[in-house]
Structure 1
Amino acid sequence: MKTLLTFALFLTVTLAFAQADKDVASQVEKLRLALIDPTVANLSELSSIHLSYGHSSGKLENQAQFIDALVSGASDFAKVSFEDQTIHVEKDVAIVRHNLVADVLDGGKSNSIKIGVILVWQKEKGQWKLLARQAYKLP
């Protein structure tokens, strides 16, 4: 009986982690789509009011600056994909790593970029919110 209870607990915990991974992956996909078609509503829903958003250039933005840059077109993504993604969930925090591959429009001219990114998501009131993001140049 004790073995059966231990197995049931293990299975429950494993399924909870698998669901958390799926939930975080879903939020990351929503973020990818929001980078291409940004609105104040979708970016606000995805990000924490405490957001710290770091670019590979060293530029740092808070939530309002992050949203404004995308909605105004100062950061204009034509195409975005996330490659080699990993997700690690620990209680109410998730760490996501991937390579961001994108076509960015700059003054009507398209530039291709490939950078590494680490995202930190935190569960707030039952929903995963982007708390921190740092991009870095790949070797």
Structure 2
Amino acid sequence: MAQTKDEKAVAAATEKFRKALVDGDGATLNKLTDDKLTYGHSGGATPETKKEFIENIVNGNSDFVTIELTNQTVVVDGATAVVRHRLVASTQDKGKDPGSVDLLILLVWHKNKAGEWKLLARQAVKTKH
């Protein structure tokens, strides 16, 4: 089934978000995320705010060297979109040995009054091996 215009826009925003995570691009992350962002990690800690999330990416506390997204689905309902995918990444978090993650991700995007898709929520869970 062909993607709708909104599904394509959300998929494109998700790809920009992936690239900004790898590049540590705070300006792009700021542009793509809603001020009310809640960013949940797979470890179960309290979700980060937009400010905390961007600071941790930019300062290297959370450093993605590579990110590969697979099995992505995009569902749009009005001004809300739900994206699910598998994220496999190599990491080099500040003060830690190189690592890797294999996660299932849920992203919730919403279209603002200007017609821009903004990331409102993200939650990760570890895959079962």
Q: What TM-score do the two structures reach when normalised by structure 1?
A: 0.85
Separation in 1 of the partners of 2:108 and 2:91? 23
Of residues 33, 36, 51, the one that matches 2:19 is 33
Q: Tell me the residue number matched to 2:97.
A: 109
What is the letter of the counterpart of residue 76 of structure 1? D
What is the letter of the counterpart of residue 56 of structure 2? A
Q: Which has the higher helix share?
A: 1
Q: Which residues of structure 1 form unaligned runs of 5+? A: 1-13
Aligned residues: 125
Separation in 2 of the partners of 1:77 and 1:42? 15
Of residues 51, 62, 70, the one that matches 1:83 is 70
Alignment partner of 1:132 is 2:121: yes
Separation in 2 of the partners of 1:30 and 1:40? 12
**Does the aligned pair in 1 maintain the 2:20–2:26 contact within 8 Å?**
no
Separation in 1 of the partners of 2:109 and 2:41? 17
Separation in 2 of the partners of 1:23 and 1:34? 16
Check 1:37–1:85 CA distance in 2 against 1; reply closer, same or farther (3 A cut): same
Secondary structure, in 3 states, of the residue corresponding to 2:92?
strand
Q: For 1:74-117, what per-residue CA distance to the aligned partner results, in whole angstroms no more than 9, with x for missing partners? A: 00000001110000000000000001100011336321110100
Q: Name the Cα RMSD after superposition.
A: 1.6
Secondary structure, in 3 states, of the residue corresponding to 1:56?
coil
Q: Tell me the residue number matched to 2:80.
A: 93
Larger radius of gyration: 1
Once the 2 structures are TM-superposed, how far is the Cα of residue 39 of structure 1 from its aligned partner?
2.4
What is the letter of the counterpart of residue 85 of structure 2? H
Secondary structure, in 3 states, of the residue corresponding to 1:68?
helix
What is the letter of the counterpart of residue 98 of structure 1? H
Separation in 2 of the partners of 1:132 and 1:32? 15
Q: What TM-score do the two structures reach when normalised by structure 2?
A: 0.91
Q: Which residues of structure 2 form unaligned runs of 5+? A: none
Task: State the identity %.
Answer: 42
Secondary structure, in 3 states, of the residue corresponding to 2:42?
coil
